[in-house]
Protein backbone atom coordinates (compact mmCIF):
# COMPACT_ATOMS: atom_id res chain seq x y z
CA UNK A 1 0.00 0.00 0.00
CA UNK A 2 1.27 3.48 -0.92
CA UNK A 3 0.61 6.53 1.30
CA UNK A 4 0.77 9.87 -0.51
CA UNK A 5 -0.32 13.49 -0.14
CA UNK A 6 -2.83 14.88 -2.62
CA UNK A 7 -3.71 18.61 -2.80
CA UNK A 8 -7.15 19.17 -1.27
CA UNK A 9 -7.46 22.82 -2.22
CA UNK A 10 -5.64 25.73 -3.85
CA UNK A 11 -2.52 27.25 -2.39
CA UNK A 12 -3.31 30.42 -0.44
CA UNK A 13 -1.02 33.43 -0.22
CA UNK A 14 -1.64 35.38 3.00
CA UNK A 15 -1.25 39.09 3.71
CA UNK A 16 1.63 38.41 6.11
CA UNK A 17 3.61 36.66 3.35
CA UNK A 18 2.78 33.10 4.35
CA UNK A 19 1.69 30.46 1.88
CA UNK A 20 -0.44 27.51 2.88
CA UNK A 21 -2.23 24.54 1.34
CA UNK A 22 -4.33 21.61 2.56
CA UNK A 23 -3.58 18.04 1.48
CA UNK A 24 -5.43 14.76 1.75
CA UNK A 25 -3.51 11.79 3.13
CA UNK A 26 -4.27 8.99 0.72
CA UNK A 27 -3.60 5.25 0.66
CA UNK A 28 -3.87 3.93 -2.89
CA UNK A 29 -5.97 7.02 -3.73
CA UNK A 30 -8.31 6.43 -0.76
CA UNK A 31 -8.48 9.39 1.62
CA UNK A 32 -7.53 8.42 5.16
CA UNK A 33 -6.83 11.83 6.70
CA UNK A 34 -5.63 15.36 6.11
CA UNK A 35 -2.66 17.63 6.67
CA UNK A 36 -2.31 21.43 6.48
CA UNK A 37 1.08 22.85 5.46
CA UNK A 38 2.25 26.46 5.56
CA UNK A 39 5.30 28.63 5.70
CA UNK A 40 5.95 30.33 9.01
CA UNK A 41 5.07 33.99 9.53
CA UNK A 42 7.67 34.29 12.28
CA UNK A 43 10.75 32.70 10.73
CA UNK A 44 9.89 33.57 7.13
CA UNK A 45 9.56 31.63 3.86
CA UNK A 46 12.46 29.26 4.56
CA UNK A 47 10.59 27.77 7.54
CA UNK A 48 7.62 25.47 7.07
CA UNK A 49 4.94 24.35 9.46
CA UNK A 50 2.67 21.36 9.86
CA UNK A 51 -0.37 23.25 11.11
CA UNK A 52 -2.66 20.22 11.44
CA UNK A 53 -2.43 16.47 10.86
CA UNK A 54 -5.30 14.04 11.36
CA UNK A 55 -5.76 10.40 10.43
CA UNK A 56 -9.24 8.88 10.34
CA UNK A 57 -9.89 6.47 13.22
CA UNK A 58 -10.01 3.23 11.15
CA UNK A 59 -6.55 3.96 9.73
CA UNK A 60 -4.72 4.96 12.91
CA UNK A 61 -1.78 2.96 14.29
CA UNK A 62 -0.77 1.86 10.79
CA UNK A 63 2.04 4.34 10.18
CA UNK A 64 -0.10 6.74 8.12
CA UNK A 65 0.87 9.78 10.20
CA UNK A 66 4.57 8.91 10.01
CA UNK A 67 4.54 8.65 6.22
CA UNK A 68 2.42 11.81 5.91
CA UNK A 69 4.86 13.78 8.10
CA UNK A 70 7.80 12.60 6.00
CA UNK A 71 5.95 13.45 2.80
CA UNK A 72 5.25 16.91 4.24
CA UNK A 73 9.00 17.46 4.56
CA UNK A 74 9.39 16.79 0.84
CA UNK A 75 6.60 19.23 -0.04
CA UNK A 76 8.07 21.96 2.15
CA UNK A 77 11.55 21.30 0.83
CA UNK A 78 10.09 21.91 -2.64
CA UNK A 79 8.76 25.24 -1.37
CA UNK A 80 12.31 26.24 -0.46
CA UNK A 81 11.99 25.56 3.28
CA UNK A 82 15.07 24.57 5.23
CA UNK A 83 13.40 23.81 8.53
CA UNK A 84 10.02 22.56 9.68
CA UNK A 85 8.17 23.10 12.93
CA UNK A 86 4.94 22.08 14.58
CA UNK A 87 3.10 22.52 17.87
CA UNK A 88 2.02 19.38 19.68
CA UNK A 89 -0.41 19.38 22.64
CA UNK A 90 1.23 17.81 25.68
CA UNK A 91 -1.70 15.42 26.15
CA UNK A 92 -1.32 14.08 22.59
CA UNK A 93 1.11 11.39 23.70
CA UNK A 94 1.15 9.53 20.38
CA UNK A 95 2.02 12.73 18.52
CA UNK A 96 4.75 13.55 21.03
CA UNK A 97 6.27 10.07 20.54
CA UNK A 98 6.00 10.34 16.76
CA UNK A 99 7.73 13.72 16.77
CA UNK A 100 10.60 12.32 18.81
CA UNK A 101 10.91 9.32 16.48
CA UNK A 102 11.14 11.72 13.52
CA UNK A 103 13.97 13.66 15.23
CA UNK A 104 12.06 16.82 16.12
CA UNK A 105 13.53 18.69 19.07
CA UNK A 106 11.94 21.14 21.48
CA UNK A 107 12.24 24.80 20.59
CA UNK A 108 10.04 25.99 23.46
CA UNK A 109 6.98 24.98 25.42
CA UNK A 110 3.76 26.63 26.52
CA UNK A 111 2.96 26.31 30.20
CA UNK A 112 -0.32 27.27 31.79
CA UNK A 113 -2.40 26.95 34.92
CA UNK A 114 -5.93 27.71 36.09
CA UNK A 115 -5.83 30.58 38.54
CA UNK A 116 -6.75 30.62 42.19
CA UNK A 117 -6.59 33.66 44.40
CA UNK A 118 -2.96 34.88 44.23
CA UNK A 119 -1.07 35.44 47.42
CA UNK A 120 0.29 38.82 48.54
CA UNK A 121 3.63 40.18 47.44
CA UNK A 122 6.52 39.71 49.90
CA UNK A 123 7.17 42.40 52.49
CA UNK A 124 9.00 45.31 50.94
CA UNK A 125 7.70 44.62 47.44
CA UNK A 126 5.05 46.52 45.50
CA UNK A 127 4.20 47.15 41.88
CA UNK A 128 3.20 50.17 39.84
CA UNK A 129 2.24 50.93 36.24
CA UNK A 130 5.03 51.55 33.75
CA UNK A 131 5.02 55.32 33.21
CA UNK A 132 4.70 56.80 29.73
CA UNK A 133 8.12 58.41 30.15
CA UNK A 134 9.63 54.98 30.81
CA UNK A 135 8.06 53.25 27.82
CA UNK A 136 10.68 54.04 25.16
CA UNK A 137 13.56 52.63 27.23
CA UNK A 138 11.49 49.60 28.22
CA UNK A 139 10.54 48.99 24.57
CA UNK A 140 14.17 49.10 23.43
CA UNK A 141 15.18 46.61 26.12
CA UNK A 142 12.22 44.33 25.36
CA UNK A 143 13.03 44.30 21.64
CA UNK A 144 16.70 43.56 22.34
CA UNK A 145 15.68 40.62 24.55
CA UNK A 146 13.25 39.37 21.90
CA UNK A 147 16.01 39.48 19.27
CA UNK A 148 18.30 37.55 21.63
CA UNK A 149 15.68 34.87 22.23
CA UNK A 150 14.84 34.49 18.55
CA UNK A 151 18.46 34.21 17.44
CA UNK A 152 19.08 31.68 20.23
CA UNK A 153 16.30 29.58 18.66
CA UNK A 154 17.91 29.66 15.24
CA UNK A 155 16.43 32.73 13.59
CA UNK A 156 18.94 34.77 11.56
CA UNK A 157 19.76 37.99 13.40
CA UNK A 158 18.78 40.10 10.39
CA UNK A 159 15.31 38.51 10.38
CA UNK A 160 14.93 38.89 14.16
CA UNK A 161 15.92 42.56 14.03
CA UNK A 162 13.51 43.11 11.14
CA UNK A 163 10.38 41.63 12.72
CA UNK A 164 10.80 42.33 16.45
CA UNK A 165 10.00 46.09 16.46
CA UNK A 166 6.89 45.56 14.35
CA UNK A 167 5.68 42.75 16.60
CA UNK A 168 5.91 44.95 19.67
CA UNK A 169 4.37 47.98 17.99
CA UNK A 170 1.44 45.94 16.64
CA UNK A 171 0.58 44.74 20.15
CA UNK A 172 1.29 48.06 21.86
CA UNK A 173 0.09 50.75 19.41
CA UNK A 174 -0.75 53.12 22.27
CA UNK A 175 2.36 52.38 24.27
CA UNK A 176 1.89 51.75 27.96
CA UNK A 177 -1.75 52.86 27.69
CA UNK A 178 -2.76 50.18 25.12
CA UNK A 179 -6.03 48.53 26.11
CA UNK A 180 -5.78 44.83 26.90
CA UNK A 181 -2.06 45.06 27.67
CA UNK A 182 -0.60 45.41 31.15
CA UNK A 183 2.86 46.84 31.80
CA UNK A 184 3.95 46.84 35.44
CA UNK A 185 7.15 47.61 37.32
CA UNK A 186 8.11 45.65 40.43
CA UNK A 187 9.62 47.75 43.20
CA UNK A 188 11.45 46.27 46.18
CA UNK A 189 12.35 48.53 49.09
CA UNK A 190 12.08 51.55 46.86
CA UNK A 191 14.21 50.17 43.99
CA UNK A 192 12.89 49.03 40.58
CA UNK A 193 13.85 45.36 40.25
CA UNK A 194 11.80 44.01 37.33
CA UNK A 195 9.10 44.49 34.74
CA UNK A 196 6.10 42.56 33.46
CA UNK A 197 4.27 42.63 30.13
CA UNK A 198 0.96 40.79 30.26
CA UNK A 199 -1.47 40.41 27.34
CA UNK A 200 -5.08 40.04 28.44
CA UNK A 201 -6.45 39.50 24.94
CA UNK A 202 -4.23 37.47 22.64
CA UNK A 203 -5.54 35.51 19.64
CA UNK A 204 -5.63 31.79 20.32
CA UNK A 205 -5.21 32.20 24.08
CA UNK A 206 -8.22 31.63 26.36
CA UNK A 207 -6.68 33.49 29.30
CA UNK A 208 -3.91 35.92 30.05
CA UNK A 209 -0.48 35.45 28.47
CA UNK A 210 2.87 36.58 29.87
CA UNK A 211 4.67 38.23 26.95
CA UNK A 212 7.77 39.36 28.83
CA UNK A 213 8.94 39.10 32.42
CA UNK A 214 12.37 40.37 33.40
CA UNK A 215 14.31 40.89 36.59
CA UNK A 216 17.28 43.25 36.45
CA UNK A 217 20.44 41.09 36.27
CA UNK A 218 21.96 42.17 39.59
CA UNK A 219 18.72 41.31 41.46
CA UNK A 220 18.14 37.82 40.08
CA UNK A 221 17.92 34.92 42.50
CA UNK A 222 16.12 37.02 45.14
CA UNK A 223 12.56 35.84 44.43
CA UNK A 224 11.46 38.79 42.29
CA UNK A 225 10.50 36.55 39.36
CA UNK A 226 7.97 34.86 41.61
CA UNK A 227 6.63 38.25 42.66
CA UNK A 228 6.20 39.33 39.04
CA UNK A 229 4.22 36.16 38.34
CA UNK A 230 1.97 36.93 41.32
CA UNK A 231 1.35 40.35 39.77
CA UNK A 232 0.52 38.70 36.44
CA UNK A 233 -1.96 36.34 38.11
CA UNK A 234 -3.60 39.17 40.02
CA UNK A 235 -3.99 41.33 36.92
CA UNK A 236 -5.31 38.41 34.88
CA UNK A 237 -7.99 37.61 37.46
CA UNK A 238 -8.90 41.28 37.83
CA UNK A 239 -9.64 41.33 34.09
CA UNK A 240 -12.02 38.37 34.47
CA UNK A 241 -9.70 35.76 32.98
CA UNK A 242 -9.37 32.41 34.72
CA UNK A 243 -6.06 31.07 33.40
CA UNK A 244 -2.55 32.26 32.62
CA UNK A 245 -0.03 30.93 30.11
CA UNK A 246 3.52 31.66 29.00
CA UNK A 247 6.25 30.43 26.68
CA UNK A 248 9.61 29.21 27.94
CA UNK A 249 12.65 27.63 26.30
CA UNK A 250 13.96 24.28 27.59
CA UNK A 251 17.40 25.71 28.43
CA UNK A 252 15.93 28.30 30.82
CA UNK A 253 16.25 25.99 33.81
CA UNK A 254 15.62 28.61 36.56
CA UNK A 255 12.41 29.78 34.88
CA UNK A 256 11.18 26.22 34.35
CA UNK A 257 11.78 25.48 38.03
CA UNK A 258 9.91 28.60 39.09
CA UNK A 259 6.90 27.95 36.89
CA UNK A 260 6.63 24.33 38.00
CA UNK A 261 6.82 25.41 41.64
CA UNK A 262 3.97 27.85 40.98
CA UNK A 263 1.81 25.07 39.55
CA UNK A 264 2.26 25.66 35.83
CA UNK A 265 2.14 22.58 33.64
CA UNK A 266 3.20 22.05 30.03
CA UNK A 267 0.21 22.35 27.70
CA UNK A 268 2.03 22.22 24.35
CA UNK A 269 5.46 21.69 22.83
CA UNK A 270 6.85 23.77 19.95
CA UNK A 271 9.11 21.43 18.00
CA UNK A 272 11.36 21.78 14.97
CA UNK A 273 13.94 20.02 12.78
CA UNK A 274 16.15 21.00 9.82
CA UNK A 275 15.16 19.67 6.38
CA UNK A 276 18.25 20.58 4.38
Q: pLDDT digit string (tens) for 93-146? A: 999 999 999 999 999 999 999 998 888 999 999 999 999 999 999 999 999 999
The whole-chain average pLDDT of the chain stands at 94
pLDDT 10s digits, 52-91: 999 999 999 999 999 999 999 999 999 999 999 999 999 9
**Cα–Cα distance for residue pair 59/156, rounded to 1 Å:** 40
pLDDT at position 231, please? Answer: 97
pLDDT of 257 above 90: yes
Can you give the pLDDT at residue 195? Answer: 98
Question: How sure is the predictor about 204, in pLDDT bands with cuts at 50, 70 and 90?
Answer: confident
pLDDT at residue number 1: 66
Percent of the chain at pLDDT exceeding 70: 100
> Quick one: pLDDT at residue 17?
78
The domains located in the chain, with CATH, are 3-81 (3.40.630.30), 116-241 (3.40.630.30)
Q: State the burial class of residue 126 (Cβ atoms within 10 Å of its Cβ: 0-12, 13-18, 19+).
A: middle
> Structure pTM?
0.90
Of the candidates 94, 192, 175, the residue with the CA atom closest to the CA atom of residue 140: 175
pLDDT at 36: 97
d(CA 187, CA 124): 8
Amino acid sequence: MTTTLRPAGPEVRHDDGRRSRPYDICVNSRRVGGIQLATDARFGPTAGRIEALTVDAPDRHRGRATVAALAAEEVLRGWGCRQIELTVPAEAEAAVRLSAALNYTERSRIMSRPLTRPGPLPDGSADRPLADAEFAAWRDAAIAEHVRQETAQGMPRERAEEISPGRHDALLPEGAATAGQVLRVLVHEGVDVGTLWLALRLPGQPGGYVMDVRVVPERRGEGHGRSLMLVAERETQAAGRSSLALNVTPDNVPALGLYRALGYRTSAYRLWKPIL
